[in-house]
Structure 1
């Protein structure tokens, strides 16, 4: 052996050679990327020119049509097309002003360029814009500015022309200007294309030659570096042993039979055994018996050369007891029959992974599955129902008194309630059933291999268990119940969304029918179909509002106890369908209430009513009260008060002339919010009427708490007072209560003179109904009285 030669290469020499190779590789990569980027940048300008040219042509086309026909849609389309070259121009000006890249990119993107292309365009313009060919192209681009701006001016002039009196001569001038601009812009675009195409060809030729030269230089230098590196690596054999001994991960060498021939100290520490004891022992002896078959197929493929390496995770038994999770990476050794195995202890990382996975799929508060995991499980059950024909069921659960606990005892109590409710439910469920919290007090269950009839029994058992449960907090005791909707997860369903929607509707129906009950939705369920129809109305209502198909009627309210020239009426919202037919309020208002659109309708009515009143000042002088209905949804909207105040600020209508009507049910269900809103609006002068009074269960007990000025006696009692003594007594009692509390009364559904006289005799203040006035257009009523 020639001891004058080193046995292994010094690390710095290897690092230097590797750095040299990497530098060459980096230069080659940079060269290639630069070449591609240059060509891509030139192509981006050509692509942008195509879009620019199409937009310019489109703008001219629509301006020509607009000049002939005067259609606003053509003008709008022309301006949309013009926005492309105008945005490109804006981007170039920002480039020349040395604005930030983000500002320029935003402008180019508005000009229909891809964001990646936009950055290439910036780079080419800034770094290579002074090259002869590119300088000529960009100069042509600047030359197009006056003509593009002229197109925009022509669009404005055409718009002014069509708004003013006809002037054929002026129109002809604009057409000629448009034609001339179009010709010049086409010429400039053609010249730009020729220059950029020529530049692209020149770039391709130049870059190809440069690539060839660079490749030759790169090949020579790389060969020299590789030759030197190979010589240095020949001396690294001794280092391998040091690495093998000092490695932090376990390393073992196996023969063809899987027996350990060499083992480093790290694997001995992992398995709690001496390295010498490992030698001659099959590695499989340390693998947990349940994991033996995990790597059988891969080991055979490794032995036959099909796989060069593979990684598997298995449990290993430590000497003296204990099990750990390890990641084993098998690699073929120099001998085809042998292999090297790297062993890493991953017990801690698996524990953390399992914990993170639990947090990602479970609700933090209750420990139940969350919505994400629930939807995945529902999808799997639905797939099984379709593929295997199995029967499953879905239950939606909503707590009935959760809001009461939250409002009276605080959110901490509400959280504790949810945890205890979950404990109650868990005791009644099978291990195979999935129980999830969807959010708030809403839960869902997927009952596997369960018929609808069996699911109903499970749901009823849960409901009964919760009914017997009493929640105590801070000296208070609450009776808790729930409403449960049950549907089948069947193969006939459209998708999981339709199943969830059906379960949600079933849960709603359980609440609607009195709460603390189970509602099972079966095939062709009429209530389910009705509810779905109401949901369909939600989209129709929003479309009607967007297309201005809502309008206002008004029904007069007549005084019974005194003569007056002042006018009172109730504003009634109406809707026209797509064919122009008027839709009954009973068809769309319940849907709006249930699905949250009623608040938008309330705002529309208030805005339009005040706007119309402000536009008819003479009518406003004769107006005593204008009644406007409010839905229960509006009562608990924190910003609703601000909206009403802003409307009064926009329209000069005295708040004293506006009376808001709130149904008794809505007021009681939102008692605190209703009182707060009534008191706040009362301070600025508005009054309130309690609508449909007498139908609720708590009318008289809550009446003293509500700051209302007027009671509207529900028409169900008024309609038949001539023939029904019970109804007559009810109306008389309600009127006396109102008078005692110094509140005026209005009887609804007054349909004949005999009824009118009875109401007048018993002292009712006002009457409303077809016998007094049939609803008519509010606009017509305004015109009649605004004189």
Structure 2
């Protein structure tokens, strides 16, 4: 029989199924009979079977945790008294195994008498033990986080991009000299604290961090309201939120003491090194017994040791036992009087000794002088190495590869060999998005990874740019296929560490097997090149063996596919205009009123694809003019009537095909008139390669453009042999110095001299000068010293959508107008 006071709820099948699925425990309290009925799932939730409950009307209260019992009773009483609509409380019930189960108890009166007196109450209990544990863990983690922030003196902040509102915690406010309590801060407040010399970079870096997946680290200075200058360092990362513009979250800490300590330490170090390092040669002095009692910095560097480890040692014992010092067979200082040659850590030194004499002429020690005589030998070795190796990757260069290929061809009939032609896939996209420094790092990593896959004795060379070649003394087709596959796999493992918005780096390889000694080196390499193009045409990231017919057919298929893809992108307006600012180097604020228009292609999946995916196809298959005109028409239509008001000049690159079009100027002029675009706000950039294709037509276009107020720049100046000749033959008014001279200006006296000469020439001709590929602040400083007036590169501005740039510029103009009106 069922216990009259405490029973187990017997569910009908539908209820039972529902409760089983939901995991809910149901209770039914009859106030008339003082009987509480519990469901089977409620019993199971506490680890019991139906028959295991004792006969006790207060069973529920007996199971409730003592600390929760009063709250549970109060929740029920308040509901029965009509003070709340339902019972809802969190409490703990004792499990059969002795543990405590957290439950969420919800219930309500379901039956009343005619007077409204409650007769029956029913409810459910949900197991929330895991939720409670998660809350406890989260609270613990939060406390640890607060403790870590407090210990590190780090503040936290976030910026609501849409609302342009910042939230600073108390520590952040304290760092800026404000009341140390969490506050909402207007965006303008932060800008007002920035040091004038750091304001532009700090604002630009924070803007660039919005939408970027990478963590931005930036040191800068602030000026507190009391005039005190503090150094701070911030870490920031963009956080996306659905339906909103997102947030920029970050930390900040005051590093002023660290900066000042570093400066003091540096000054002390400089004084020490200048005083003791005045002597270029290594100098060691000893006692008469040969115990070292003084050593200058040059000697420490020579021996790659520390002063404490050297002073007190016997110099002869040191030379005898140190494996890095050779050609020493002596027990005393007498052998050094006339000088001996030592090889110390692969460097050659001429060592001589002189006695230290007292006033009476007695010896009290010796001074040993070590003069490095290996520099000239090293230079000769370096020159020999550089003549046959690539400076960036350390691989063989084109000259060395051609020599090896010529030698291999002489014995090709007896010893056939294979040529691998490697062309990296999507490398230009990395350069465009992340800069040339990132591209150089990727090339080094790729060369290292691929080299591990090649058999011993292979000739691995970088031909230039992102193209490589390998000569392997193996003609077995299966073997060369395996090598190619291994190289492709190795390249794919290289992670450049930058999200470029497109496919990962890959590698296409063309292979040809040579067994004919009569074949020329150029023909052999051309076969491998054709096979490489066939691999790219087949989808990239694969290899292809050369056959005469296969290469021809693949080229046709590739042409049809790439032309169709580009045409579709133009028709569907999936070619996106980007812009890179050209900054004035004469002004400290980096003023910019010129941009270079670039192009990106948006795939149907929304990914942004770099120009290497469609520019070569356009140039190779005759669509460059169509693409150039589309870009000009799009820019004029969207922004032409805004250019004068924004004081912004748009610069367009013109391909060789476009410059060879006699109707080009007519198109430019009519399009400008249609969209009310002032030609004085337009610039065109041409290269020697493009101009030489059809000189007369190009010269006519340049003349008309200049007559109508357009700027015309000679791009990549200095990269060809005819650069100076084109200054005489074309009526240009701007020179853009090739980035190859700019990017190594800090290390190359030759490059600095070339740039200085170009600047002097440009001034005499009243030309503007723009330096390309500016990657560091030091390059900017040296360019200013040389008189370069304008610059362009990733250090100054990373390419961004033209629409975003125009929007920001218009917004800035509005803010200026508002300030002028309210001022």
Higher relative contact order (CA 8 A, sep 6+): 1
Query: Which structure shows the bigger proportion of residues in strand conformation?
Result: 2
Q: Does TM, scored on the shorter chain, surpass 0.5?
A: no
Query: Which structure shows the bigger proportion of residues in helix conformation?
Result: 1
TM-score (norm 2): 0.32
TM-score (norm 1): 0.33
Instruction: Say which one has the larger Rg.
Output: 1
